[in-house]
Chain A
Amino acid sequence: MKSVGNKLKRVAWRATLYLQEVVKVPRNIKLNLNFWSIASFMILLLLLLPNLNILAGLLEEPTENWLHIRTYLLQSYIKNSLVLVGATAVMTIITGTLLAYLVAFYDFPLRGFMRWALILPLAVPPYMAAYTYSGIVSFTGPIQTFLRNTVGVSPNQKYFQIMSPEGAVFIFSLFLYPYVYLMVKAFFEKQSSALIESAQLLGRSPVEILIYTLLPLARPAIIGGVSLVIMEVLNDYGVVHYFGIPVFSTAIFRAWFGMGDLNSAIKLAGLLMILVFATVVIEKLLRGRLSFSYSKSAVRPLVPRRLHKTPAILALTFCLLIFSFGFVIPVFQLFYWGLLTYRSILNYEFIASLFNSVMLAGITSSVIVILALIIGNFARISTNQLGNIVSRIALIGYSIPGTVIAIGVVTFFIQMDSRIYWLYKPIIGGSKKLVLSTSIVMLVFAYIIRFLAIGYNAVDSGFEKIGRKYFEASRTLGANIARTFLLVDLPMLKPAVTGGFILVFVDILKELPLTLILRPFNFHTLATKAFQYANDEMVQEAAIASLIIITVSFLSIYLFYKTAERT
């Protein structure tokens, strides 16, 4: 009897606890229901819908084309995609880590310059590098011309076959390794010299220290960097299309524009999305709890060891070689071609595409920064897990390849157009049914999905830097959330907001697959113009557009490197 009584008591006690929580529900809803939370959820819903559309498409009834693709083509898409991803990953890990190791631990001539010059290949979009390099090694390009006219040799064409999977790996590795380099370098430079010295005292040689101590420690940084490389390779359309390599992104284009089969395009996009999520999951698993960083800023910082003679020359040569191939050579070639072609290029049409690029990038970056501020502020003020979840979701867009987003956005907008046709029918007359889906609104929307993460990261780190204390001080001084945001947070977030704006702006200037698919008819940007010239066998004419984009990227890298060095 006693135990029954106890049980009853316990049940009653639980019930009271539960009731106490239930009673608070209306208060908590009122507390959490404000402009910031509602706007954040609306934004995320809009971002997620098109992507969910794609996953839903996987379950739809397949078409005849799909059966054909699945039987004859899918295997080679998967194989090629995996080969490109795998080989590029290996090459970027080797190049990026080795360069980071040299620059962080050793001192050799020009090291200071190389530290940031080695980031510069990132300023050259891989597809532009692909056009440039295939121009350089082509039959009429400078190398073969030199060999024929000056040396008097006519070499076998097969040695100059860059338009191959190997060529694509060469391009991707050379222009994407900075992702690995940057992360690993930052990690190495944070280490304390005690780490190296203790290993030395234990009788280890520099190579042993690298292999047994530094590389295992740097694993999280390497994985972080290389997963960005993989995302970029899977996102790429320009290189693989130009080199004629059938992979997912080109297949999605073909299914849609070649076969007019949106259904199959969606299915391919769904598969690609699964591949990307697998990468993300693998990255998380590989990193696991490995995010250790032993060093605090208080420890003795690393002093790079001075190299002499041969080792110094070897280190410098390696850095110079990568820097030349990854930046100097293509830029000089483009410059030369630019000089040859600028007269015929700089016409009204070109100016219009320049204007379009700047306008699109400007509009989108502004919108992204505003959305990022709204979500960032919500994530900060929310007192529960919701804020966390929201900020996670805001970041996923960047891992989804452009072609996938494009397909998702198109289907979403076509559905939307037919849903709200009644709304614009009276305004524009009855004939035109597709309004939003034939305007740049759709393109801007897709850019937002893809690049929100870039802007959000910048804004969020700004919020993190200023912390909660000013926000709290302002609240106790009688300012509500909105007033606090405008008068206290926003002025302090200015550097972060500017940074985010610039990063997104540059990324949009460079963007190709989304722009190609979603732009309105006859609408050109610098990127699509370069793409068009290159694919019309007019590589030299693509130079000016490429140079403009590279210069802007260069300036933004310079700006960020310098501000990062100062702080």
Chain B
Amino acid sequence: MFLEVENISFQYPNSPDYVLKNFTLTVPKGITLAIWGESGSGKSTALRLISGLEIPQQGRIKISGKIMVDHNTFVPPEKRGIGMVFQDYALFPHMTVARNILFGLNKMPAEAKKVRLQEILALVDLKGFEHRYPYELSGGQQQRVALARAIAPKPHLLLLDEPFSNLDSSLKTKIRQELKTIIVQTGITTVFVTHDREDVKCIADIVVILQKGRIMEIGNPSELL
């Protein structure tokens, strides 16, 4: 298994209730898994725990066999080799598209960076936009920059937090297809959370249905939703 989440429990400080309780999940390599649930079901928290933005009170997370967090280990987010697309994209407003994408490539030699940038821009179909600032882009373009930025450093695992929630419904269908194509092209293991059944049906190989911090069902999207 590529991603193993074992028995995770998590509660936010000052909150009496657990957001996730004994949450266990495994994701095979190359698979796209959706976590589907209502708001408040703990699905975004699950992504934050996998990425290392939150620390669980209990449990263990492993990525390709290496322990990311347990009672005596914690690997900070920057060392986990994951890419994440945030719900509101969180593009750095003071950097151009190119600099946003290059941000995660700082350890690469300059020449390689240039090549990678062009490669990625082509992949997300944003050639010619490299000198724009985020506020000069449409919602759909911003979303693609966020995706490009997340996959540019070639992460082992891609996490997407409600990737389409900020888009017009007319755009959604098109961008879902594009995202699916990009994920297939790169072959990257992906976990995404959503409350939209259509997202799941269109993109996911497996779906996990989450309710109040507990997994209700796991299975094939076309069967469960």
Contact = CB atoms under 8 A, between A and B. Distances in A.
A258 interface: no
A203 interface: no
A141 B154 CA distance: 79
B156 to A, nearest CB: 12
B84 A476 contact: yes
A24 interface: yes
Interface in B167-217: none
A476 B71 contact: no
B88 interface: yes
Contact of B76 (A24, A384, A385, A475): A475
B72 A480 contact: no
B104 interface: yes
Contacts of B55: 31, 383
Nearest to B83: A476
Contacts of A476: 51-53, 77-78, 80, 82-84, 150, 159
B138 interface: no
A492 interface: yes
A128 to B, nearest CB: 41
Interface residues of B, number: 33
A492 B93 contact: yes
A480 B76 contact: yes
B58 A478 contact: no
A152 interface: no
B14 to A, nearest CB: 9
A302 interface: no
B100 to A, nearest CB: 9
B154 to A, nearest CB: 11
Contacts of A477: 78, 83, 103-104, 149-150, 153
Nearest to B149: A477
B2 interface: no
Contacts of A27: 71-74
A163 B159 CA distance: 71
Contacts, number: 78
A21 to B, nearest CB: 9
A429 interface: no
Contacts of A479: 78, 103-104, 106
B224 to A, nearest CB: 29
A469 interface: yes
Interface in B88-123: 88, 90-94, 103-104, 106-107
A483 to B, nearest CB: 8
A475 B88 contact: no
B86 interface: yes
A473 B104 CA distance: 10
B13 interface: yes
Contacts of B80: 476
B160 to A, nearest CB: 12
A20 interface: yes
A488 interface: yes
B104 A478 contact: yes
Interface string B30-66: 0000000000000000000001110100100000000
A60 interface: no
A472 interface: yes
Given A476-B150, A492-B93, A487 B103 contact: yes
A193 B73 CA distance: 56
Contacts of A23: 71-72
Given A469-B90, A472-B53, A492-B93, A24 B72 contact: yes
A216 to B, nearest CB: 30
B90 A472 contact: yes
B153 A469 contact: no
A470 B90 contact: yes
A470 B84 CA distance: 12
Most central of B53, B80, B150, B159 by chain A CB within 10 Å: B53
Given A31-B74, A474-B103, A477-B104, A488 B92 contact: yes
Task: Name the residue among B13, B77, B79, B84 with the largest chain A CB count within 10 angstroms.
Answer: B77
Interface residues of A, number: 26
A24 B71 contact: yes
B84 to A, nearest CB: 4
Nearest to B93: A492
Contacts of B13: 383-385
Contacts of B153: 477-478
B71 A20 contact: yes
B183 to A, nearest CB: 17
A63 to B, nearest CB: 50
A26 interface: yes
Nearest to B88: A469
A26 B78 contact: no
A472 B76 contact: no
A480 B84 CA distance: 15
A474 to B, nearest CB: 7
A475 B72 contact: no
B221 to A, nearest CB: 26
Given A472-B53, A472-B86, A26 B104 contact: no
A24 B107 CA distance: 32
Nearest to B55: A383
Interface in A1-50: 20, 23-24, 26-27, 30-31
A545 B152 CA distance: 58
Interface in A489-506: 491-492
Nearest to B107: A478
B201 to A, nearest CB: 27
Contact of B78 (A475, A487, A491): A475
Contacts of B149: 473, 477
Nearest to B79: A478
Nearest to A475: B77
B58 A20 contact: yes
Contacts of B58: 20
Nearest to B87: A469
A183 B148 CA distance: 46
Contacts of A478: 78-79, 104, 106-107, 153
Contacts of B72: 23-24, 26-27
A474 B78 CA distance: 8
Contacts of A475: 52-53, 76-78
Contacts of A488: 92
A234 to B, nearest CB: 35
A488 B91 CA distance: 10
A473 B86 contact: yes
Given A477-B103, A477-B104, 6 more contacts: A24-B71, A26-B72, A384-B13, A475-B76, A476-B80, A479-B104
Considering the complex of A and B, which 3 residue pairs feature the smallest CB-CB distances, nearest first?
A477-B104, A473-B90, A475-B77
12 contacts: A26-B72, A472-B86, A473-B86, A474-B92, A475-B52, A475-B76, A476-B82, A476-B150, A477-B150, A480-B78, A483-B106, A488-B92
